[in-house]
Amino acid sequence: MAPGNPSSNAAIVQDFLDALEDRQLDRALALLDREVEWLNTGLPTLRGARVRGALRQMDRRGIGFRVDHHAIAEDGEVVLTDRTDYLRVGPVENAFWVRGTFVVRDGLIVRWDDAFGWGAFLGSGVAAVARALVGRGARRGARD
């Protein structure tokens, strides 16, 4: 991302992901084109209103999201991200590596394509559940 260039395509993508992390859904949705296309490894492609609906459902269900940005690069309208995403439901937080490819036109994200390994995703999910169970047991033991 070019320093001092908040209108760069990379800055738009970073702002989008940060808005999701900050639970500022309106800010995030404002950065999506009306006909945005969202692809995730092995999942059905969502378009337009279905993308907005999916993000609203995640928010309503209290699914937390945070992101660690490792690298971000842009070439014209294409922005590549290398990051760790964290999805949280209650005490369970699943961390997994994601390679994202975004296409930004006229200041709006028109394509969001996240790729990740299902094996790593599921493995980190099992570890997250175990951590939550161990943590719950440790808290219970401290009260006994």
**pTM recorded for the entire structure:** 0.79
Number of H helices, E strands in the chain: 4, 6
pLDDT value of residue 117: 58
Confidence of residue 138 (pLDDT cuts 50, 70, 90): very low
pLDDT value of residue 93: 81
The answer to whether 72 and 86 are in contact (CB under 8 A) is no
Mean pLDDT in residue range 92-113: 92
Average pLDDT, whole number, for the chain?
83
5 phi/psi in degrees, rounded to 5? -120, 75
DSSP letter string over 42-108? Answer: TS--EETHHHHHHHHHHHHTT-EEEEEEEEEEEETTEEEEEEEEEEEETTEEEEEEEEEEEEEETTE
Domain ranges of the chain: 9-139
Q: Who wins on pLDDT, 130 or 63?
A: 63
Encoding tokens for residue 108?
């709006």
Domain 9-139 is of which CATH architecture?
A: Roll (3.10)
Answer whether residue 33 shows pLDDT above 90: yes
Answer whether residue 74 shows pLDDT above 90: yes
Mean pLDDT in residue range 84-90: 87
**Residues forming the active site:** 85, 114
Which residues, at least 6 apart from 103, have a Cβ–Cβ distance to it below 8 Å? 77, 78, 79, 109, 110, 111
Mean pLDDT in residue range 33-53: 93
Which residues, at least 6 apart from 143, have a Cβ–Cβ distance to it below 8 Å? none
Confidence of residue 32 (pLDDT cuts 50, 70, 90): very high
